[in-house]
Amino acid sequence: MEKYAKLLQSPSLMLSADSNKTVTYERDPQNYITQLFGEQLPPVKTGFFNVRMSKDVIVQPHWHTNATELVIVLSGEVVTTVFNPFSQKLMTYRIGPGEVSMFPEGWFHWIVSTCDHTHFLTVFDVPTPDIVLGSDFLRFTPKEIMELAYCADGDAYAKAVAPIQQSVIFGPPPGCETAAPVYQAAPVYAAGYSAIPQPAQAPANWGGGGMQQGYMYQQPTAGTGAWSPAYAYSGFAPASAAYTSPSCPGCGGTAANRWGPSASYPVYSYSGQ
């Protein structure tokens, strides 16, 4: 507190700075991060990264040992995912302009952009956050440790992580041919984004009456024409009635992947595409 008071009394005190000037990381001209922390503005008690991303670019899995993070979307849209160490579940949210998502201190998380020209801030509650990158964890863990700790195939692990030759913040690397996730049109949030209706009589396991975790993005099911949901809200049993998907007009099918047994619940995934 005394140090902060001295900063405020300094004759050279500055209370303004440009968060666009200091480049933290640049993948290419469309995907880069700038910052404003204590180094750029000494009196600040918080700080943030200023992030711009293209569609299907990811802020790779990582965690902060000393800071809670708040993601604020300015334009575009992102999917944020954080691992809850208490429930042992992933918490995934799709947020647009003016909406926020947070990562508690020490929780493992990542961010994926769903469209081009996405711009968001990641605001921290400390002036200098620590960052532990998943890429460093993977590339510096010896295969023998993976074998000993998890009975994993050490050689297969070493081969899988061999392309990671440096610390990575944005992925995938340029030229990577790995298929990106397929994002559904229907978002899933605490507040019912984009006027997605909520059921008139929400069941007890709906989680407070708001949109909770549900189908967020999907991967194609190998060898079939169906989409397999990667994340689903576990409180609902599948239904069997026929339906037409709102995200694919004319695509009929069996409502095997839907919110619940009532026809009043919106259907967000489908098979038979």
**SS3 at position 123:** strand
- Predicted pLDDT at 173: 79
- Predicted pLDDT at 181: 64
166 belongs to a structural domain: no
171 belongs to a structural domain: no
Say if residue 185 is in the same domain as residue 240: yes
CA-based angle 52:269:266, to the nearest 5?
100
Q: What is the CATH number of the domain that holds 100?
A: 2.60.120.10
Inform me whether the pLDDT recorded for 73 exceeds 70.
Answer: yes
170 belongs to a structural domain: no
- Predicted pLDDT at 178: 67
Which residue matches tokens 């397999």?
228
137 or 200: which carries more pLDDT confidence? Answer: 137
Inform me whether the pLDDT recorded for 113 exceeds 70.
Answer: yes
Mean pLDDT lowest among 89-103, 124-138, 251-265: 251-265
Structure tokens at 180: 């990106």
- Do 170 and 31 form a contact (C-beta atoms < 8 A)? yes
69 belongs to a structural domain: yes
- Predicted pLDDT at 1: 62
User: Within a 13 Å sphere around the CA of 64, how many CA atoms are in the beta-carbon half?
Assistant: 20
- Predicted pLDDT at 12: 83
Distance CA 92, CA 80 (A): 6
Q: Grade residue 11 by pLDDT with cuts at 50, 70 and 90.
A: confident
Which residue matches tokens 């190998």?
222
- Predicted pLDDT at 24: 94
56 belongs to a structural domain: yes
173 or 143: which carries more pLDDT confidence? Answer: 143
Judge residue 174's burial from the number of C-beta atoms within 10 Å of its C-beta, 0-12 exposed, 13-18 middle, 19 or more buried: exposed
Say if residue 223 is in the same domain as residue 117: no
150 or 254: which carries more pLDDT confidence? Answer: 150
- Do 96 and 188 form a contact (C-beta atoms < 8 A)? no
Quick one: which H or E segment has residue 132?
A: strand 132-133
pLDDT, tens digit (0-9, with 9 covering 90-100), for 44-64:
889 999 999 999 999 999 999
Q: Which domain holds residue 28?
A: 2-134
Say if residue 22 is in the same domain as residue 90: yes
Name the pTM for this structure. Answer: 0.68
Q: Which one of 107-111, 182-186, 245-249 scores highest in mean pLDDT? A: 107-111
- For the chain, how many structural domains are there in total? 2
Question: With the CA atoms of 80, 28, 33 and 133 taken in that order, what torsion angle do they form, in degrees rounded to the nearest 10?
Answer: 60
Average pLDDT estimate for 167-172: 91
Say if residue 106 is in the same domain as residue 223: no
Average pLDDT estimate for 60-81: 96
Closest CA to 189 of 210, 205, 220: 210
